[in-house]
Every structure is written in C-alpha cells, then in structure tokens.
Amino acid sequence: MSTSLQNHRIRLAARPHGEPVAADFTHDVAEVRSPEAGQVLLRTRYLSLDPYVRGRMSDAKSYAAPMEVGDVIVGGTVSEVVESAAEGFAPGDTVLSYGGWQEYSLEPAAQLRRLDPAAAPVTTALGVLGMPGFTAYAGLLAIGKPQPGETVAVAAATGPVGSAVAQIAKLHGARTIGIAGGEQKVSRLRELGVDAALDHRAPDLAGRLAEAAPDGIDVYFENVGGAVWDAVLPQLNKFARVPVCGLAAHYNATSLPEGPDRSPQLMQAVLSKSLTLHGFIQNEFVPTMFEDFLRDMTGWLASGQVQHTEDITEGLDRAPEAFVGMLRGRNFGKAIVQVS
C-alpha cells in the first residue's frame, strides 16, 4: 500500500573535490511507501549535521562505507512515527533514528530509540545526550583518563563534542584549556568555566598555549589537527594521552600538505615522551559505557553542571548551506536543521 505523502530528499549528486559546493547535492521528491512488517514510517523533525558526513561523501577507505552517488545524505534524526508495522511503536511517538537528509524515512524498528519529550528537549538526543555527548564522554574517560590536577586541552572546544569534553574534564578535577575560533567562541568558553580560553585564529597560538600550560598538557582531545596540533605537540607531557576523535582541518583536503615530512618528528615525540595516540569511533564503547553516560550526563544537565548550545537552521533545503558552514566553523554549538 502506498501513501499520498511526498518525500523531499537531498541526495549526493557528485563526490566533492575539496569543500562541498551546491552542485554536489541534488534535491528531489519521491513517493512515500507504507512500512512493511517490522518497519516504521517516520517524519523527520530535526536533522543532525556532523563533520563525519564529509568523509562519507568521499570514496576513500575509512571506518564506515562511503555513500554512493545518488544516495540520500546520511545523518541522525529526531523523528515522529507516522505509521507503524512494528510492535511497540505507534503514531505520534518520538524516536531517535538515522533517517538522513529527507522529510520521511522507512526504518527497522529495532534500530530506533524511543525519546521522552518530557524528560529533555528532543534535540538533545542529537547533541549533548546523543552521539556527540557520548563521543566526548567515552573518548575522554576511556582513553584520556584525566586525573585531578592534570591539564586537559581540547580543540573545537565550543562544538558539541569539545564543549562536553571541557566540562566533563572540569568535573573530574582537571585544569582545562579550550581552543576555538573567534572571540565570540572564546567568550563562550569563559562562560563554560575553562581555565584558559584560546583563539586559534589569533597570532602565535603556540606561544599563547605554552603560557596557558606552564606545566604542560597531560590529555589533548583532538578534534581538529592542522595548526592546532602543531602547537599542542611540543607541550605534551611524558605519558600524555591523545584521544583522536576528528581531524576537521583536513576533511576537505585533496592532497598532502606542502612542506617537509614531519612524521619522524611525531614518532620521535611518541617514543621519547611515551605518548598514547588513540583513534576511536564512539560506537566501540556503546556496549560498556552508554548507560553510564546517559545516567551521568542527564544528571549533569539537570544540575546545571554541564551546559550546551544548539545552532538550529530552519528548512531542509538549507541543509547543504548549513553543512558547509559547519565545516568552516561557522556554527555556534550543535548544528541542527529543523525539518518539520
């Protein structure tokens, strides 16, 4: 049985070469089908914009399969059940899903998580109470393991991951250094209570970071790479831990950076300082840490110990524009598109 609904979608038209442009996206309309057994038809209310999606637009080998040209752009969503062919879900229910850049999606009920709008704003399931918040929690606590009195530095520190890292580190007794781009974001870091807030766009980041970390850095949560990493590396203490979550400075790169090969310098530092560089994907920790995360983060939010910010764009058609803006660092907080 088909419905009378029309599904507005945004699909990958071409693999981006460098920063995505309008021609890399195509907009179309398709008929909405009713769910089969075990499926649920969803209407997308909110769409999450996340940096990892840029990697999936390319066909380079990575931790997740690339999208194919013609696919609906992937993304987490908060959605409303329109029609259900699965036990336990009824029209009107709100769920966390993975519907992508479209107004409607058909999804297996087994992959959905029910949300309680009375417990927390549903958009938090895409941010501080969802994948970004859990990424911060798991990466910092399982890999960074900050101890009271240690110094923790984090890049992209006003983003949904970085801001959570900074605040969780403070809750664990660490001294925190937040690095972000622009005075507005630096002001936000001060509101969050970091011990030092640095603008990576201002001159001499390396010198200012050395002043902010007179005793060195014990944990560096890597979200960016590039010039920020260059400034951090000399300040890492012996036995420092580096959870590598993202490399936003390189997502649009089409070739290796110019200049000498600095990998020998990096490996020398890893050896001489006994550094731990540990790349991770948050779902590695879901079986062992997700329930603890929900309990802890829900409590921290309720008590005001953790704050969060959302940057909401209205209209699915504006998703490509907002996505490119996020990759440029223009968003202020968790980037979300309000679809319906």
Q: Which amino acid makes up residue 99?
A: G
DSSP track, 112-130: -EE--TTTS-GGGGGTTTS
Mean pLDDT of 291-299: 97
What distance in Å separates the CA atoms of residue 271 and residue 143, rounded to the nearest whole number? Answer: 18
What distance in Å separates the CA atoms of residue 88 and residue 16, rounded to the nearest whole number? Answer: 40
Whether the pTM exceeds 0.85: the reply is: yes
pLDDT at 249 exceeding the cut of 80: no
Mean pLDDT of 322-326: 96
pLDDT at 2 exceeding the cut of 60: no
| Secondary structure of residue 338 in the 3-state scheme | strand
The reported pLDDT for the residue numbered 3 is: 63
CATH class of 2-126+309-338: alpha beta
CB 187 within 8 A of CB 198: no
Q: With bands split at pLDDT 50, 70 and 90, how would you rate the model's confidence at 252?
A: confident
More confident residue, 231 or 259: 231
Mean pLDDT of 215-224: 97
The reported pLDDT for the residue numbered 65 is: 87
For residue 328, give Cα distances in angstroms to 67, 248, 253, 322: 22, 9, 13, 10
- CATH classification code of 131-283: 3.40.50.720
The reported pLDDT for the residue numbered 255 is: 75
Q: Which amino acid makes up residue 192?
A: L
Query: Which tens digit of pLDDT belongs to each residue from 141-200?
Result: 999 999 999 999 999 999 999 999 999 999 999 999 999 999 999 999 999 999 999 999
The reported pLDDT for the residue numbered 1 is: 44
Q: Which residue ranges make up each domain of the chain? A: 2-126+309-338, 131-283
Q: Which amino acid makes up residue 323?
A: F
CB 65 within 8 A of CB 94: no
Mean pLDDT of 85-100: 97
CB 232 within 8 A of CB 217: yes
Give the chain's mean pLDDT: 94
What distance in Å separates the CA atoms of residue 67 and residue 98, rounded to the nearest whole number? Answer: 14
For residue 276, give Cα distances in angstroms to 51, 92, 235, 280: 24, 47, 14, 12
| CA atoms within a 13 Å half-sphere pointing along the CA-CB vector of 313 | 23
